[in-house]
Structure 1
Amino acid sequence: MKRNRALLCLLTMLLIAAADSTEDTVVRLEMAHRDTLWPTAFRRIEDIIGEDQKRHSLISQKRKIKGGGGGAKMALGSGFDYGAAQYFAEVRVGTPAKRFRVVVDTGSELTWVNCRFHGKGKENRRVFRAEESSSFRKVGCLTQTCKVDLMNLFSLSNCPTPSTPCSYDYRYADGSAAQGVFAKETFTVGLTNGRKAKLRGLLIGCSSSFSGDSFRGADGVLGLALSDYSFTSKATNIFGGKFSYCLVDHLSNKNVSNYLTFGSSSSTTKTAASIRTTPLDLKLIPPFYAINIIGISIGDDMLDIPTQVWDATAGGGTILDSGTSLTFLADAAYKAVVSGLERYLVGFKRVKPEGVPIEYCFDTTSGFNESKLPQLTFHFKGGARFEPHRRSYVVDTLEGVRCLGFVSTGSPATNVVGNIMQQNYLWEFDLVASTLSFAPSTCL
């Protein structure tokens, strides 16, 4: 769901593993797409694009404000069965540890869960009861952490008494919001050697109130943005400066999943022959993960797109975002892409399904063969090429209807490669080497 900052604050952290050592292990979280929570065959595109457009608007605002060996794993899967257009993982929070289903968001800095703190909390889903966790430590409103360090995480200035916890009103790029108090808490994670480890002192939001479609089917958010206080910062400090994920097809049911991994991934080794690497600019559009796209081609034809579209110093540039579903392109790039693809769809009737606010949709009930479509390719600085699967840019929308999965976002604007475009690829973020590696994968 979003800098030039001071150097990373050294936060006290203890890693207690059930294993004698965490060497040669990685942390992995199972991950599922949140559309797996939807009761029908297809996620309602009008909801997806509405959330995406609000998210992109706030990404732009946030950018203006801020721009001036071993490891762990978490299961990761589609949210389709939950009626959501994002990906979910399960985390274990507190002492004793309780399970929560959270949205995996590379654009969000704060990790939070639906929480009861002194009797407050939404009861229509799982609730973390802070008073029952022996490891819960609230952040005071008079602390330097609250008054200075957490200002970019929407900390509030109200502090009626010295014992009042530091509160927040966290705003997301799609217009959703969460309100609560900051605390330090323990997360229990699974290791690839089958053991478990505890991450202590991780900043967490205890959200007693939240609103917006972003959280449909979820108990909170796992913040993976590039931030001093994100889950990524904690996990990569311990397990090595890498994290990776492989997004299953966004229409997969909740029983299909892959992993969000912190540390070196065995999946990278398996895909070594086809893996490609490009620079990851961690200082260009913080807290987002900026990638250096320099062009787009359709088949053998490089599209005529002005270079300033890709220039982050001129208000353009591109980010990879797990929290946005469709792919957003500045006007010049959008027009070139959709007109280039439309030429290959002239044999299909163009339709305008009710409630689907995408410009290019087609009736594909007869004779549609996606393999006949040309390959769309994103060209990166340094020569790497990303060739998404055809079903990632000609998206199933309704029965017998497919739409070009792109949204125009004005000019100049931040381009966003969304999670549908990323599906069925392994993505590895190396925060030490500042590189992004990727390879096609079944994610199974």
Structure 2
Amino acid sequence: MATMRILAFLSILSNLLLLVLGHVVGKPNANGLTIKLIHRDSPASPLYPGNTTFIERIQRLVNQSKARAAGAGYLSVHPNEAIRAPIAIQAKSIYMVRLGIGTFNATFPARPFKAYHLHMDTGSSVTWTQCQDCALPGNRCFPCSEPPFPNRLSTTYRPLPCNVHPLCIPHQCIGDSCSYQSRYLDGAYTIGILASEAFTFLSASGRPQTIPNIVFGCSIDTADMHYGGNDNQVNGIFGLGWGIRSFVNQIQNLSHGTFSYCLKFNDGHALDTYLRFGGDIPQPTTVLQTTKLVQFKSSQAYFIELLGISINGTRLDINPELFSLQFDGSGGCAIDSGTTFTTIIKSAYDVVIRKLLLYFSGFPNMTRTRIFESCFDLCYERSVPEGFRDLPGMTFHLRNAELEVAPQGTFVVNQLDSGEEVFCLAIVGGDHVTLLGAYQQTNQKFIYDITRKQLQFAPEDCAQNA
């Protein structure tokens, strides 16, 4: 009897350990994969800010959006693309994943892997985290709340031999091993070894799903990395971009070249969601629209062809060339779930503002206010709270598709302590690029089909974890 009680206790403890990670929901699928996406401001996030006011939450997310879009270099490419990789900005995604890396000889209840938070990024292809070899002479580590991945102790860690593996760039090596490097506009960089390793995603049912031989960047030399606070609670990047090193491309047997998400976001409150691959993508409840995904030179970002914008059903007089890609990588429109609020290139953004000023001039109960001017450019106050009543929606006209954004995805609304209400256009202006952000993607199921170079989407109740 005592033995049975001990075994029962150990079983419960084991399940609790697995639920701490809680990545894959339900039974592991041999033809799919589901990973929990953790919003950076949710209680499950290591970056959780605690109790904050509405304006504090929004300000954080606006700053993140502006940083994400800052500088054309986010999507720029070097003239000599065969030698040098794109330079990116070091802007953190609003979503992250938590996963296990490696295989270690561990006695229960210790985990047989090391768990890390990584920023989910559709603008990057390399998944990387810091490794213990950063402490060797001549290398550099960045401060991190989690110890670097102990690559030398993992029984499944295999550096890729130089110039042999198909995911290696010829002659880009450190010693006898393939290497990678990611550089950022602010001077930060990460350099390291490309290696294969076992990645583990854990199910709520307590059944781990381990995927062997995932190629990732084992970072051994960094400078000026900032991944959350002074002690960097996030340990690197989970890359979902175009490149052959992208996680979605590496798990073709599970993803079949597809991944999907359905984002939940409500008035600045953070809500977690799910990233689904291949056979785990549920069938939509409505008809999907399809538009083309565009790959631009060596950029890893997903571009879409934005042809125009309408407000409340009226097409705005915006030159479509403002959304066209330029040779240096500026311009264009990328769909980016890592950006909170959509950023529209300034010349087109000004047209949007003028149209809304004209629209709201017809409502005498609305008074323009600058109470949230540190966050948004266009806000109104009204004495009687009415939520999203009389607020217009917005349509993004894409090639062969129309992305209709409801007022709930176009504006943020907040009731003040005085009882009055303020609402703001939840879009910001940018200098070099248009990014379709997560707030404007809410309550839509998006399916990325990398093989066919298609983006499909349809309205969906994302609260149902679609």
TM-score, normalisation: structure 1:
0.75
Q: Is the 8 A contact 1:178 1:209 kept in 2?
A: yes
Deviations 1:2-21 (A, max 9, x none): xxxxxxxxxxxxxxxxxxx9
* 2:200 pairs with 1:188: yes
Q: What is the CA distance between 1:430 and its match in structure 2?
A: 0.5
> How far apart are residue 144 of structure 1 and its match?
7.4
Question: Which has the higher Rg, Structure 1 or Structure 2?
Answer: 2
Which residue does 2:240 correspond to in 1?
A: 224
Query: Could you say which residue in structure 2 is the equivalent of 1:331?
Result: 346
Which residue among 357, 362, 376 is the counterpart of 1:358? 376
Letter in 2 for 1:424: N
Cα shift readout 1:69-101 (whole Å, capped 9, x = no counterpart): xxxxxxxxxxxxxxx870122222111322222
Identify if the C-alpha distance between structure 1 residues 66 and 97 changes in structure 2 by more than 3 Å, giving closer, same or farther: farther
Q: Specify the SS of the correspondent of 1:226.
A: coil
Distance 1:147 1:196 in 2: 24
Secondary structure of the residue that 1:117 maps to in structure 2? helix
Give unpaired runs (5+ residues) of structure 2: 1-27, 43-47, 82-91, 104-111, 136-140
Is 1:33 equivalent to 2:39 in the alignment?
A: yes
Amino acid at match of 2:348: A
Work out whether residues 128 and 238 of structure 2, in 8 Å CA contact, stay in contact via their aligned partners in 1: yes
Task: Identify the residue that residue 424 of structure 1 maps to in structure 2.
Answer: 443
1:436 has 2:455 as partner: yes
| Correspondence 1:149-160 to 2 at 5 A | 149=169
Residues 364 and 429 of structure 1: CA distance in aligned 2, closer, same or farther (over 3 Å)? farther
Change (3 A) 1:99 1:401: farther
Deviation at 1:139, TM superposition (A): 5.3
**Aligned letter for 2:123?**
G
Choose the corresponding residue for 1:409, options 409, 426, 430.
430
Q: Is the 8 A contact 1:291 1:318 kept in 2?
A: yes
Aligned residues, how many? 392
Pair 1:340–1:327, CA change in 2 (3 A): same
Structure 2: distance between partners of 1:390 and 1:50: 22
From 282, 290, 297, the equivalent of 2:303 is: 290
Residue by residue, what CA displacement relative to the aligned partner does 1:330-388 show, whole Å, maximum 9, x if unpaired? 22321121222233444433333477153223335633431321221111111x21112
Report the alpha carbon displacement of residue 163 of structure 1 after superposing the two structures with TM. Answer: 6.4
Superposed CA RMSD in Å reads 3.6
Deviation at 1:436?
Answer: 0.6
Letter in 2 for 1:352: R
1:372 and 2:390 correspond: yes
The letter of the residue matching 2:273 is N
Look up the equivalent residue of 1:124 and give its one-letter code. S
Determine the C-alpha separation between the residues in 2 that align with 1:340 and 1:67: 42
C-alpha displacement of 1:44 = 4.2
| Alpha-carbon spacing, 1:35–1:233, altered in 2? closer, same or farther (3 Å) | same
Matches within 5 A, 1:142-181: 149=169, 162=175, 166=179, 168=181, 170-172=182-184, 175=186, 177-181=188-192
Query: Does the C-alpha gap of structure 1 residues 167 and 109 become closer, same or farther in structure 2, counting only changes over 3 Å?
Result: closer
Q: Is the 8 A contact 1:224 1:230 kept in 2?
A: yes
Are 2:324 and 1:307 equivalent residues in the alignment?
no
Contact 1:306 1:332 in 2 (8 A): no
Partner of 1:381: 399
Residues 48-77 of structure 1 deviation map (CA, whole Å, 9 limit, x = unaligned): 344433432345464242797xxxxxxxxx
Residue among 257, 274, 281 paired with 2:272: 257
Deviation at 1:227, TM superposition (A): 1.0
253 and 335 in structure 1: CA distance in 2 versus 1, 3 angstrom threshold: closer
Aligned counterpart in structure 1 of residue 70 of structure 2, from 57, 61, 64: 57
Question: Alignment partner of 2:389: what SS?
Answer: helix
Aligned to 2:153: 132
Structure 1 pair 356/290, CA: closer, same or farther in 2 (3 Å)? Answer: same
Question: 2:257 maps to what in 1?
Answer: 241
Partners of 1:213 and 1:45 lie apart in 2 by 21
Kindly state the Cα deviation for residue 263 of structure 1 after the two structures are TM-superposed. Answer: 0.8
Is the 1:112–1:205 contact (alpha carbons within 8 Å) kept by the matching residues of 2? yes
Letter in 2 for 1:432: T
Paired AA for residue 99 in structure 2: V
Q: Is the 8 A contact 1:109 1:225 kept in 2?
A: yes
- What TM-score do the two structures reach when normalised by structure 2? 0.72
% of aligned pairs identical? 23
Correspondence for 1:87 among 89, 95, 100: 95
User: How far apart are 1:105 and its partner, in Å?
Assistant: 1.0
Is residue 394 of structure 1 aligned with residue 411 of structure 2? yes
